Structure formats: structure tokens, C-alpha cells
């Protein structure tokens, strides 16, 4: 055959070209998000250069933080970040899963709607408002009614002693409140994605509401709920302002969970504007780099978990 | 009691426990709202609250009752969130259209992952990034850099909610447009977008509310100011920063201002959320009728 003869009308060709142009245009604009993400990491890497060069990997387990002698280590901040997030998760998981079950599987639509609105508003309250509330209302109350009694009665466990109004435990409680909406909203979606057939079979076999949920629905939503937990962990690790206001800001590994501590994010928030010289700001940026890389890994892992379960659910239903 | 009735009772008890835990989860919401209103209202009703800027530094002896207001912070928040919206909303909407209309493209799944990761990125890290990117080269803090930091925060939210709203639109509408010979870009922009508009607006509103309440990305970018600043090329104050700084000061009068500012923030955020829920309900009704 000879050269292909174009038989399509001119207008169609023109619109096709425009369509490809449109697709290219929107895909370029859409690339802004990945581009910014890469740019953030590269910029922080470059800004942290002096500290990376000076301290190497030892930065991660050094426990000094002394701008005068230019000696910096991240361990107390890493410890505070992990400890607050871990306690927050332990407190938030049972409540969050209960909320998810109620929102997905229990009661009337109307009641669920009201409860769901409440949980969403909990997510909408700005971090700094949680912070001021925690500082003036929650932390003093917890100090008087939880920390003091515990440390009075449990004298034989060292890390439950020496209560303070501002400390690691108070920060963890605020964090638990703040990550709860993330945890329960995503768990609810995952529970809803469990194939209806499974639930109906369980009910047909005579299972009660609780038996259906505990033995059938929760086990099949397990991976997705785990993903929701990990996603909430990512939020907890990076939360800055509310934690900064109640954790007490002491760059040490505390001997008791009630004592003041510090987290990666709050060290940066408090000290970056005052940091002078080259090594001090670079060390703070390196803390930020540690934080962002950890949250990146945690988030990607969680997203893969959540997506795999809901996709499976769609395929099997 | 036989075995079956024991099972029924135990199921009911567990259900009750689940409800109790849900109510426990909502207690903080009630407490935060109650204390913010109770402690913030006396400051907000003061006639100077929305106008006067912060008093000049008055340590060590600050007046017990000050005429300080948060007018400068409200103006700063409005300007920076406005500028951030101008940047983030159009880009986010186009990105969302790409994600929804070309969702099977390999690149789309990377963009989606990047958006979700960016939503979860600690906002303090975004502040550090914009500081290195816009504050260091220009040698001064500015409202513009604050706005860019907020825009980075808003962008993935707008993109993902736009994607969600567009994919709610039934394929029939898209196909009938194409069947009439409309090119893809006109189908996307002139047919799908109007139908998805309520959902897109909801996403934009939620992003605005989120940006309006953020403190951490502004600390090293907008920095803060004691006076009313309308030029975004200079350091600016914002409401959340006012709450953060005043709340930690040892002066009762400024702490009262912080509670007042927190109340203004909460009212703004709740209003936006309630409006957007209403818009979203209309969207779902509309999509159902198509």
C-alpha cells in the first residue's frame, strides 16, 4: 500500500491534537505535587549539608544539644517523638476502631451521621487550638487527677514518677485526640469495603452483631486497619504546635513519662528562628530531614496497605 | 441462662461499649468548644478586638487590661490565605482533573501517591523548605513566602478532593459529550466541571480552612509582626501565630487575647466545614440525579 490517506475531517484532527495538548497540559500541572515533594527533600538535604558533613550517622544517637560548643545529636528528640507517638497510638487505637465500627456497622443512619459529623469536626479543629486548650485545661487536669495519683500509688515503677504539668505524657494525650479522626475515618472506609457477602453469611449462620464484627469483619479488614494506624502514626510523628505547647521542651531523655521532653518537630519550631552560625541551623534542618524521611516511609507503607485492602475488597465483592 | 441468650447479651454489651467509646472520643470536641467560647468570648466582644494591633513590647510591666487586638493577625491571615488560594486552587483543580480523567495513566498513580504523601508531610518541614527557598535568597521574611508555604499545604488537598468529585460524575455524561463530537478538553472543562463544581468547591473550602489554621509553616516564613502590615513583601502576623505566641506569654491580658483569637479561628473553621458539608450533600444529590 502507498502512503496512508488521511480520511478524517479536518476538525476532528484539530480537536485530537488539542486533546493531546490538553492531556499534556494537565499532566504537567498535576506533576506539581511530586515535583514539590522531591524539591522539599533535596532542599533539606542541601541545607543540612554542614551538619551531615560534621556529624555523619552519629548524629542519630548523639544526645548532646549544645549550640555553644557546636555539638549536636538527635537522640533525645527522636526518643520524644517515638515515645509520644507510641503512647498516643496505644490510647487511640481501641477508641478509634470502636468509632469506626459504630460509624460503619451500628445503629441508625441518622445517629451515625451526627456522630460522623462530630468526628470530622474533631479533625477540623486547628492544632494551635488543641494546643492552648491542652496547655490551660487538659494538662493541669491530667496532672492533678491522673499523674499525681499514679505516681503516689505506683512508687515502685520509676518511669511513672515525678509528675509535671508539662510533659511527655500530656503531649501524648493531646496527640491521641488529634490522630483519632484520621484513624477512625480510614478504618471506617476499610470496614465498609469488606464484601457484604461475608457479613450476610455470618448473620445467616446465626452470628450476633458482635460475633459478626469481631470474628468476620474485623479480621478481614485487619490489613487496612493496620494501614490506618500507620497513617495516624505518620500524623503523630509530624505534629508540631500542640505538642510544642505542652511537652515542656527539655532536650533530655526523661526518666519518667510524666517529665518534660522534646520532639523533632518542636525543637525546630522553638529554635530555628534563633539559630545562628552555620552548624546550629544545619543541625535543626537535619532533624527536619530525619522527620520527613521517617514520615515518608511510614506514609508510603500505610498507603500501600490501605489501598491493597480496599482494592481487594472491590475485586471480591 | 442458656448459651444463646448469653451470646445475645454479650453482643449487646459489646455494642454498648463501642457506643461508649465513641462518646468518649467526642468529649474532647465538646470540651474544646466549651472552653474556647467561655474563655474567648470576653475578649472577642471587646470593641478594640478586631481593630487595634498588638501593643509594643511592654515587659517587664504590662498593663493588666490592654487595648491590644488581633486586627493585624486577621488581615495577615486573610491576605496570605487569599494569595495561597490563588496559587493552589487552580493548580490543584487541574491536577485533580488529570487524576480523574486519565486515572489509568501510570504517571497518575505516582501523582496520587505524591499528593497523599504531601498531605501527610509534617507542616514544619514545609516551613523549613520555603524558608530555604524564598526567605534566604531574598534576605527577609515575607507574607509571600508564608502564602507559598500555605499553598504547598493546600495543593494536594484540592487535587485529591477534585479527583473525588470528578469521579463521582457518571460516565454517561462524559460519553454523551464525546458522542456529540466535543473534544476531550471541552468535555472535561465545560461539561464535567460544572457538574462536579459543588464537590470541587468543598475541597477548596476545606483546604482554605486547613491553611487558615496552620501555624508551623508560617513560623519561619511570615514570621509575625506587631503592627498591621498590608504589604505581603514584609513579615506578617497570622491568627494561629497569635494564639501560639500569646498563649505562652506570662501575661493574663495577652493570654485572654490568645483565647479570643482561638475562638475566631474555631468559628471560621467550623463555619467553613458546615457550609462545605451542605454543598457536598447537594453534590451527591445532583450526581444521583444525573
Cβ pair B262, A134 in contact under 8 A: no
Residue of B nearest to A99 (CA): B22
Residue A126 scores a pLDDT above 70? yes
- What is the pLDDT confidence band of residue A18, given thresholds at 50, 70 and 90? low
Residue B50 scores a pLDDT above 80? yes
- Tell me if A22 and B220 make a contact (CB, 8 A cut-off): no
- Tell me if B32 and A135 make a contact (CB, 8 A cut-off): no
pLDDT of the residue at A314: 46
Q: How close, in Å, is residue B15 to chain A by CA atoms?
A: 7
Domain residue spans of chain B: 71-289
Where would I find the beta strands (DSSP E) of chain B?
Answer: none
Query: Domain B71-289: which topology?
Result: MetI-like fold (1.10.3720)
DSSP string of B108-120, one letter each residue: HHHHHHHHHHHHH
Q: Which of B120, B131, B270 sits opposite A295 (nearest CB)?
A: B120
Closest CA to B125 of A278, A237, A285: A285
- The answer to whether residue A7 is domain-embedded is no
- Tell me if B125 and A299 make a contact (CB, 8 A cut-off): no
Cβ pair A168, A254 in contact under 8 A: yes
pLDDT of the residue at B46: 82
pLDDT tens, residue by residue, A40-71: 999 999 999 999 999 988 999 999 999 999 89
Q: Which of B18, B129, B184 sits opposite A98 (nearest CB)?
A: B18
Higher pLDDT, B2 or A131: A131
pLDDT of the residue at B80: 97
- What is the pLDDT confidence band of residue B280, given thresholds at 50, 70 and 90? confident
- Tell me if B123 and A288 make a contact (CB, 8 A cut-off): no
Instruction: Find residue B130's DSSP bridge partners.
Output: none
Number of domains in chain A: 1
- What is the pLDDT confidence band of residue B47, given thresholds at 50, 70 and 90? confident
Residue A317 scores a pLDDT above 50? no
Residue A298 scores a pLDDT above 70? yes
pTM of the predicted model, to two decimals?
0.92
Q: How close, in Å, is residue B230 to chain A by CA atoms?
A: 23
Q: What is the mean pLDDT of residues A169-180?
A: 96
Which CATH number characterizes residue A149's domain? 1.10.3720.10
Q: What is the mean pLDDT of residues B172-195?
A: 89
Q: Residues of B numbered 215-274 whose beta carbons fall under 8 angstroms of chain A's beta carbons: which are they?
A: 215-216, 219-220, 223, 240, 243-244, 247-248, 255, 258-259, 262, 265-266, 269-270, 273
Dihedral of alpha carbons A236, A239, A245, A247, sign: positive
pLDDT tens, residue by residue, A211-267: 999 999 999 999 999 999 999 999 999 999 999 999 999 999 999 999 999 999 999
Q: Which of A30, A101, A288 sits opposite B95 (nearest CB)?
A: A30
Helix (H, G, I), strand (E, B) or coil at A66: strand
- What is the pLDDT confidence band of residue B277, given thresholds at 50, 70 and 90? confident
Can the peptide bond before residue B69 be classed as cis, meaning omega within 30 degrees of 0?
no
- Tell me if B183 and A292 make a contact (CB, 8 A cut-off): no
- Tell me if B39 and A136 make a contact (CB, 8 A cut-off): yes
**Mean pLDDT comparison of B208-222, B223-237, B246-260, highest-scoring range:** B208-222
Average pLDDT over chain B, rounded to an integer = 89
How many contacts (CB atoms, under 8 Å) link A and B? 262
- The answer to whether residue A12 is domain-embedded is no
Q: What's the domain range around A111?
A: 75-316
- The answer to whether residue A61 is domain-embedded is no
The answer to whether residue B55 neighbours chain A at the CB level (below 8 Å) is: no
pLDDT of the residue at A107: 72
User: How many angstroms separate the CA atoms of B113 and B110, rounded?
Assistant: 5
Q: Residues of B numbered 24-43 whose beta carbons fall under 8 angstroms of chain A's beta carbons: which are they?
A: 24-26, 28-29, 31-32, 35-36, 39
Q: Based on the number of CB atoms within 10 Å of its own CB, is A305 exposed (0-12), middle (13-18) or buried (19 or more)?
A: buried
User: How many angstroms separate the CA atoms of A52 and A41, rounded?
Assistant: 14
Cβ pair B124, A271 in contact under 8 A: no
Instruction: Find residue A72's DSSP bridge partners.
Output: A65
Residues in chain B closer than 8 A to A39 (CB atoms): 129, 133
Q: Residues of B numbered 66-85 whose beta carbons fall under 8 angstroms of chain A's beta carbons: which are they?
A: none
pLDDT of the residue at B31: 97
User: How many angstroms separate the CA atoms of A139 and A163, rounded?
Assistant: 11
CB atoms within 10 A of CB B94: 23
Closest CA to B221 of B208, B207, B237: B237
- What is the pLDDT confidence band of residue B251, given thresholds at 50, 70 and 90? confident
Residues in chain B closer than 8 A to A119 (CB atoms): 25-26
- The answer to whether residue A269 is domain-embedded is yes
Helix (H, G, I), strand (E, B) or coil at B68: coil
pLDDT of the residue at A280: 94
- Tell me if B213 and A16 make a contact (CB, 8 A cut-off): no
Average pLDDT over chain A, rounded to an integer = 89
Q: How close, in Å, is residue B83 to chain A by CA atoms?
A: 17
Residues in chain A closer than 8 A to B188 (CB atoms): 22
- What is the pLDDT confidence band of residue A34, given thresholds at 50, 70 and 90? very high
- Tell me if A241 and B240 make a contact (CB, 8 A cut-off): yes
Amino acid at each position: 500500500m502507498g502512503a496512508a490517506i488521511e480520511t478524517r475531517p479536518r476538525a476532528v484532527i484539530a480537536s485530537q491534537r488539542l486533546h493531546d495538548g490538553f492531556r499534556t497540559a494537565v499532566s504537567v500541572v498535576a506533576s506539581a505535587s511530586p515535583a514539590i515533594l522531591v524539591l522539599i527533600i533535596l532542599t533539606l538535604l542541601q541545607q543540612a549539608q554542614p551538619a551531615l558533613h560534621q556529624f555523619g550517622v552519629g548524629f542519630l544517637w548523639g544526645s548532646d544539644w549544645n549550640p555553644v560548643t557546636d555539638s549536636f545529636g538527635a537522640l533525645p528528640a527522636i526518643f520524644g517523638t517515638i515515645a509520644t507517638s507510641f503512647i498516643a497510638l496505644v490510647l487511640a487505637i481501641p477508641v478509634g476502631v470502636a468509632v469506626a465500627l459504630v460509624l460503619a456497622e451500628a445503629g441508625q443512619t441518622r445517629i451515625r451521621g451526627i456522630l460522623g459529623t462530630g468526628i470530622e469536626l474533631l479533625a477540623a479543629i486547628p492544632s494551635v487550638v488543641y494546643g492552648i486548650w491542652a496547655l490551660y485545661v487538659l494538662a493541669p487536669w491530667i496532672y492533678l487527677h491522673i499523674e499525681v495519683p499514679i505516681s503516689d500509688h505506683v512508687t515502685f515503677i520509676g518511669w511513672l514518677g515525678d509528675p509535671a504539668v508539662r510533659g511527655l505524657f500530656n503531649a501524648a494525650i493531646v496527640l491521641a485526640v488529634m490522630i483519632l479522626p484520621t484513624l477512625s475515618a480510614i478504618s471506617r472506609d476499610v470496614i465498609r469495603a469488606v464484601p457484604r457477602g461475608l457479613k450476610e453469611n455470618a448473620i445467616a449462620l446465626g452470628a450476633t452483631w458482635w460475633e459478626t464484627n469481631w470474628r468476620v469483619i474485623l479480621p478481614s479488614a485487619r490489613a487496612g486497619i493496620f494501614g490506618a494506624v500507620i497513617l495516624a502514626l505518620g500524623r503523630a510523628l509530624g505534629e508540631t504546635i500542640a505538642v510544642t505547647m505542652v511537652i515542656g521542651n527539655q532536650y533530655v531523655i526523661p526518666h519518667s513519662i510524666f517529665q518534660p521532653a522534646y520532639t523533632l518537630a518542636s525543637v525546630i519550631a522553638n529554635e530555628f528562628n534563633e539559630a545562628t552560625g552555620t552548624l546550629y541551623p544545619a543541625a535543626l534542618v537535619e532533624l527536619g530531614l530525619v522527620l520527613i524521611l521517617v514520615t515518608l516511609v511510614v506514609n508510603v507503607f500505610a498507603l500501600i496497605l490501605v489501598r491493597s485492602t480496599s482494592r481487594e475488597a472491590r475485586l471480591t465483592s | 441462662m442458656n448459651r444463646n441468650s448469653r451470646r445475645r447479651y454479650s453482643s449487646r454489651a459489646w455494642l454498648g461499649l463501642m457506643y461508649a467509646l465513641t462518646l468518649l472520643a467526642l468529649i474532647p470536641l465538646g470540651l474544646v468548644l466549651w472552653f474556647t467560647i467561655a474563655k474567648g468570648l470576653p475578649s472577642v466582644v471587646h470593641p478594640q478586638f478586631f481593630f487595634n494591633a498588638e501593643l509594643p513590647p511592654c515587659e517587664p510591666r504590662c498593663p493588666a487590661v490592654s487595648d491590644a487586638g488581633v486586627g493585624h493577625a486577621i488581615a495577615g491571615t486573610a491576605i496570605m490565605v487569599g494569595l495561597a488560594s490563588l496559587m493552589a486552587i487552580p493548580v490543584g483543580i487541574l491536577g485533580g482533573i488529570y487524576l480523574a480523567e486519565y486515572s489509568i495513566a501510570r504517571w497518575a498513580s505516582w501523582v496520587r501517591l505524591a499528593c497523599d504523601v504531601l498531605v501527610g508531610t509534617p507542616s514544619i518541614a514545609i516551613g523549613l523548605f520555603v524558608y530555604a527557598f524564598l526567605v534566604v535568597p531574598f534576605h527577609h521574611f515575607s507574607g509571600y513566602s508564608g502564602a507559598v508555604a500555605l499553598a504547598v499545604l493546600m495543593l494536594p488537598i484540592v487535587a485529591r478532593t477534585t479527583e473525588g468529585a470528578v469521579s463521582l460524575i457518571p460516565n454517561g455524561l462524559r460519553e454523551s459529550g464525546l458522542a456529540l463530537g466535543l473534544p476531550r478538553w471541552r468535555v472535561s472543562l465545560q461539561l464535567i466541571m460544572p457538574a462536579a463544581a459543588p464537590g470541587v468547591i468543598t475541597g477548596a473550602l476545606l483546604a482554605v480552612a486547613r491553611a487558615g489554621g496552620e501555624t508551623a509553616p508560617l513560623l519561619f516564613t511570615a514570621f509575625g509582626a506587631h503592627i498591621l502590615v498590608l504589604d505581603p513583601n514584609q513579615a506578617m502576623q497570622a491568627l494561629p501565630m497569635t494564639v501560639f505566641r500569646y498563649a505562652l506569654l506570662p501575661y493574663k491580658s495577652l493570654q485572654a487575647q490568645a483565647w479570643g483569637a482561638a475562638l475566631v479561628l474555631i468559628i471560621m473553621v467550623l463555619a467553613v466545614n458546615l457550609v462545605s458539608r451542605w454543598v457536598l450533600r447537594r453534590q451527591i444529590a445532583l450526581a444521583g440525579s444525573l
